């Protein structure tokens, strides 16, 4: 057994179980043996195989990302940032997905790049929500992350016939085949020899799956004792579609078919019935989420890019909704996502006291752990997993480090993350992912993006080029 001691850590964000919150400890030792924390506090005097000087460090628990798309999102760099369709309430989601398709090598390259970014921003656990691709599980294991593979499947895919027209191409047999294939992927993840992986059920979106597929997915997830996740209330068009089909909002429809509860993670849930962009007559969605203990995976950046925001973080939390954090889009940087959540949450509430750094850290740790049914991650406490992030408080972006959590979220982000441990094993050293090569992956991704862009006129409903759909920022001279 191997013991590591972080000696005299300047700051530690430790878990106070009695208070139910993280608290600062100053100048204390943190020790772990193999994969478990064995000491948090003064005077760890037992022999240690490795001693880390903690005098300039802020030690915080590994962050938990409950919603991420590592294999495809990085390829949208230079495409997605300012892309939106006014006729579709500004979102560009549906237009991009019908025209931009990344090949398998591009997915592998994007995933390696994104997983490295996640690690270097302090993420130690990720829910990887993607259509399966060759090598997925082995790459997730090699990264060193604690990973939950969420293999996506659906009964339909989106299409367009005009800027104002979203259409659904239904293939229920393909949805059923995807569900069956997901069973094998989940089993492969759970049985991987690294011991850090598991799986969960991931019917793609609440509007692209039949009621039968959603119910069967939920039943199988509960039969296996696993979590289930899907996208819901992520666009105005989706809300209108579900209302047209069922007469209720997506959250209310999810509740009607049982797709709510402590074992359910709904991604985004921005557009609930009280949202200013929806104009619906009920005010039930927020309370339904709270009453059922359903987790909302909050990813503010993709919506901010087209001028929308969750209304609002403090209101959801105050009502008792479990809000966890995700990185739906690039950059796969959890600390930046927390920063956006904090700033946008206060703007939406028009209240500087709407949420705090403590709220953001809770969402990115404890709420994520609860969503996954875990009481051994997302916290620095004796008996918890040794998933730790070591932040350099002497980094210029952290100084003065009067309040290191604020400095990390609002100033330094990943630049000050020095080392990361998962299960007691070092997976980031000196700010670099130990088992991934993001530089090589970035080159392969650039080649794959070129192939993707070349295919756009063939796939787009109007035969447009990528430059017509998403023009360059500046005209070519």
Tell me the average pLDDT of the chain. Answer: 98
Kindly report, residue by residue over 42-51, the tens digit of the pLDDT.
999 999 999 9
DSSP state letter for 385: B
Kindly report, residue by residue over 422-431, the tens digit of the pLDDT.
999 999 999 9
Q: Which of 371, 370, 420 shows the shortest CA–CA distance to 391?
A: 420
Assess contact for 63 and 123: CB atoms under 8 A. Answer: yes
Q: Please report the pLDDT score of residue 236 as a whole number.
A: 98
Kindly report, residue by residue over 61-98, the tens digit of the pLDDT.
999 999 999 999 999 999 999 999 999 999 999 999 99
pLDDT category, 393, cuts 50, 70, 90?
very high
Helix (H, G, I), strand (E, B), or coil: what is residue 307? Answer: coil
Assess contact for 237 and 199: CB atoms under 8 A. Answer: no
DSSP state letter for 413: G
Helix (H, G, I), strand (E, B), or coil: what is residue 170? Answer: strand
Question: Alpha-carbon distance 381 to 20, whole Å?
Answer: 12
Strands (E), 84-207: 123-130, 146-153, 156-162, 165-170, 197-199, 202-203
Which tokens go with 414?
A: 């990943």
Mean predicted confidence (pLDDT) in 354-363: 97
Kindly report, residue by residue over 268-281, the tens digit of the pLDDT.
999 999 999 999 99
57 pLDDT above the threshold of 90: yes
Question: Alpha-carbon distance 387 to 369, whole Å?
Answer: 12
Would you give the end-to-end CA distance of the chain in angstroms?
A: 63
Mean predicted confidence (pLDDT) in 395-411: 97
Mean predicted confidence (pLDDT) in 410-437: 98
Does this model's pTM top 0.85? My answer is: yes
193 pLDDT above the threshold of 90: yes
Whether residue 361 is preceded by a cis peptide bond, meaning omega within 30 degrees of 0, is no
Helix (H, G, I), strand (E, B), or coil: what is residue 20? Answer: coil
Kindly report, residue by residue over 301-346, the tens digit of the pLDDT.
999 999 999 999 999 999 999 999 999 999 999 999 999 999 999 9
H-helix or E-strand spanning residue 10: strand 3-16
Assess contact for 275 and 303: CB atoms under 8 A. Answer: no
Q: In whole angstroms, how large is the CA radius of gyration of the chain?
A: 22
Percent of the chain with pLDDT over 90: 100
Q: What is the DSSP string of 136-165?
A: HHHHHHHHT-EEEEEEEE-SEEEEEEETTE
Q: Does domain 127-371 have CATH number 3.40.50.720?
A: no
Which residues, other chains included, contact 115 with Cβ-Cβ below 8 Å and sequence gap of 6+? 70, 126, 139, 140, 143, 145, 332, 433, 436
Torsion on CA atoms 153, 135, 93, 312, rounded to nearest 10 = 90
- From the number of C-beta atoms within 10 Å of its C-beta (0-12, 13-18, 19+), residue 374 rates as middle
Q: Please report the pLDDT score of residue 52 as a whole number.
A: 98
* Residues forming beta bridges with residue 203, ordered by sequence position: 153
Q: Please report the pLDDT score of residue 109 as a whole number.
A: 98
Q: b vs e for 380-412, b when ≥16 Cβ sit within 10 Å of the residue's Cβ? A: beeebbbbbbbbbbebeebeebeebbebbbbbb
Question: Alpha-carbon distance 415 to 418, whole Å?
Answer: 8
Mean predicted confidence (pLDDT) in 348-352: 96
Q: Residue ranges of the domains in the chain?
A: 127-371
Q: Which of 186, 62, 170 shows the shortest CA–CA distance to 126?
A: 62
Percent of the chain with pLDDT over 70: 100
1 pLDDT above the threshold of 90: no
284 pLDDT above the threshold of 90: yes
């Amino acid at each position: 057994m191997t013991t590591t001691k972080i000696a005299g850590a300047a700051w530690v964000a430790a878990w106070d179980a009695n208070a139910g919150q993280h608290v600062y400890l100053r100048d204390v030792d943190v020790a772990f043996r193999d994969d478990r924390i064995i000491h948090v506090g003064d005077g760890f005097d037992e022999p240690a195989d490795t001693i880390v000087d903690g005098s300039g460090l802020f030690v915080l628990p590994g962050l938990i990302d409950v919603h991420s798309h590592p294999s495809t999102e990085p390829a949208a760099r230079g495409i997605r940032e300012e892309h939106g369709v006014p006729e579709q309430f500004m979102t560009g989601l549906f237009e991009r997905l019908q025209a931009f398709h990344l090949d398998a090598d591009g997915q592998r390259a994007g995933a390696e790049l994104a997983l490295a970014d996640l690690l270097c921003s302090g993420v130690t656990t990720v829910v990887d929500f993607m259509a399966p691709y060759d090598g997925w599980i082995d790459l997730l294991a090699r990264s060193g992350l604690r990973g939950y593979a969420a293999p996506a499947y659906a009964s339909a895919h989106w299409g367009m016939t005009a800027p104002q027209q979203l259409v659904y191409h239904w293939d229920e047999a393909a949805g059923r085949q995807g569900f069956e294939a997901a069973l094998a992927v989940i089993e492969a993840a759970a049985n991987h020899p690294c011991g850090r992986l598991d799986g969960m059920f991931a019917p793609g979106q609440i509007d692209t799956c039949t009621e039968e597929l959603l119910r069967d997915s939920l039943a199988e997830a509960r039969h296996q004792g696993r979590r289930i996740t899907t996208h819901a209330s992520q666009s105005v068009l989706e809300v209108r579609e579900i209302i047209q089909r069922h007469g209720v909002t997506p959250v209310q429809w999810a509740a009607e078919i049982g797709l709510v509860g402590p074992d359910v993670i709904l991604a985004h849930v921005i557009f609930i019935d009280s949202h200013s962009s929806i104009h619906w007559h009920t005010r039930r969605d927020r309370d339904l989420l709270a009453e059922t203990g359903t987790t909302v995976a909050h990813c503010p950046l993709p919506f901010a890019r087209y001028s929308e925001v969750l209304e609002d973080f403090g209101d959801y939390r105050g009502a008792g909704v479990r809000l966890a954090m995700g990185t739906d889009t690039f950059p796969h940087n959890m600390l930046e996502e927390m920063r956006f959540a904090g700033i946008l949450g206060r703007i939406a509430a028009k209240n500087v006291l709407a949420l705090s750094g403590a709220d953001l850290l809770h969402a990115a740790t404890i709420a994520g752990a609860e969503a996954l049914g875990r009481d051994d991650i997302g916290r620095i406490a004796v008996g918890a997993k040794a998933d730790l992030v070591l932040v350099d408080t002497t980094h210029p972006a952290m100084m003065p480090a009067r309040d290191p959590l604020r400095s990390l979220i609002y100033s330094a982000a990943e630049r000050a993350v020095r080392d990361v441990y998962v299960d007691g094993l070092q997976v980031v050293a000196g700010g670099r992912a130990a088992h991934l090569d993001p530089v090589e992956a970035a080159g392969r991704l650039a080649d794959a993006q070129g192939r993707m862009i070349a295919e756009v006129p063939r796939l787009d409903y109007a035969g447009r080029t990528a430059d017509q759909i998403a023009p360059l920022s500046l005209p070519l001279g």
